[in-house]
Amino acid sequence: METKLTLKELSKREDLFTYGHRLCAGCGEAIIVKMVLAASDYPIVACSPTGCLEVSSCISHYTAWRIPWIHSAFENAAATIAGVESMYQALKKKGKMDKEVKFVVFAGDGGTYDIGFQSLSGAMERGHDILYICLNNEAYMNTGIQRSSATPLGSDTTTSPAGTVIPGKSQPRKDMTKIMAAHNIPYASQASPSHWLDLMKKVKKSLGIKGSKFMNIFTPCHRGWRSKSDDAIEMSRLAVDTCYWPLYEVEDGVTRITSKPKEKKPLVDFLKPQGRFRHLFSPENEWVVKRLQEEVDRNWETLLKAEATD
């Protein structure tokens, strides 16, 4: 029997990612992982590459996971889970297993956009029946807040420091969701913990689809963003309301926006609460804010047109 996605019904489910982990107070990752596991009607085998979630959730023989969970190297989480899924399919064919099991990756943007991109692209192209979830906090937070290709233009990181020479990162962020959709997989989407029902519906839908699926989930990191420790949901909501992080899905090549802001807020509402963008509000860096707003507007219009065309 499938779980109804209501707070009353979900509150009755076992917590499969428990207290006792070492993630920062207010970290978006713990919130999202709990949502994902609660949304599943199937047993899950998960894999995580090196990153914040991995180092904080399984320390020596202590673990916060109440499901089978594998730590892989930074670059090969998709290959690892693809191998486990292939073994499972072989066992089913031999009649040695009849239980319906789902296979999920929880990886950061560094292990997805950059270091793990090759194995991810290969797994998607081969069509393994897996769900790959990117917990996107827009930098290598675990190793010292270095920039990744998910880091937005102008962001102050330890490897793109804002100063008199450069105003933070000089390049715009990569659009990984569209790159994954371009692999012609049956399902790719973006989600945010501020819109919990939208996120959980997408998890539930993706787990019911055969083949390779990808979810890019906005994941606030107050340590790396220099924001308040209790504002993960507020920052996520601002990202959606400014269209910095639009919520949409591409299912069998058809684009659908799953939540449209009643009033599209200016991007500065999202930028100002974060210390990583503080330098952008000095007169000499106003052009960066203008360019960021133009980029957000252009991407939103492109998404609206894609939905209308499909």
Q: Convert the pLDDT of each residue in 116-168 to its tens digit.
A: 999 999 999 999 999 999 999 999 999 999 999 999 999 999 999 999 999 99
- Spatial neighbors of 232 by CB under 8 A, at least 6 apart, are 26, 27, 28, 31, 193, 220, 222
Position 88 in a domain: yes
Mean pLDDT across the stretch 237-246? 98
pLDDT tens digits along 208-230: 999 999 999 999 999 999 999 99
Q: How many residues does the chain have?
A: 310
Q: What is the H or E stretch that residue 214 is in?
A: strand 213-218
Number of folded domains in the chain? 1
Q: Could you tell me if residue 1 is inside a domain?
A: no
Query: What CATH number should be reported for the domain holding residue 231?
Result: 3.40.50.970
Alpha helix stretches (DSSP H) within the chain: 7-10, 28-39, 52-57, 77-93, 117-126, 176-181, 196-207, 222-225, 232-241, 268-271, 286-309
Beta bridge partners, 214, equal 132, 188
- Residue 72: Cβ within 10 Å count: 22
Domain membership flag for residue 159: yes
How high is the mean pLDDT of the chain? 96
Residue 96 within a domain = yes
Q: Which domain holds residue 49?
A: 7-309
Closest of 192, 190, 265, 273 to residue 225, by C-alpha: 273
2 domain-assigned: no
- Quote the CA–CA distance of 82 and 88 in Å, as a whole number: 10
Is residue 239 in some structural domain? yes
Give me the residues paired with residue 283 across strands: none
| Residue 61 clears pLDDT 90, i.e. is over it | no
CA distances for 177 relative to 57, 246, 254, 290, 308, angstroms: 26, 11, 14, 24, 19
Distance CA 288, CA 265 (A): 18
Structural domain includes residue 305: yes
- The answer to whether 238 and 269 have CB atoms below 8 angstroms apart is yes
70 domain-assigned? yes
Q: What is the pLDDT of residues 64-105, one digit of tens each?
A: 999 999 999 999 999 999 999 999 999 999 999 999 999 999
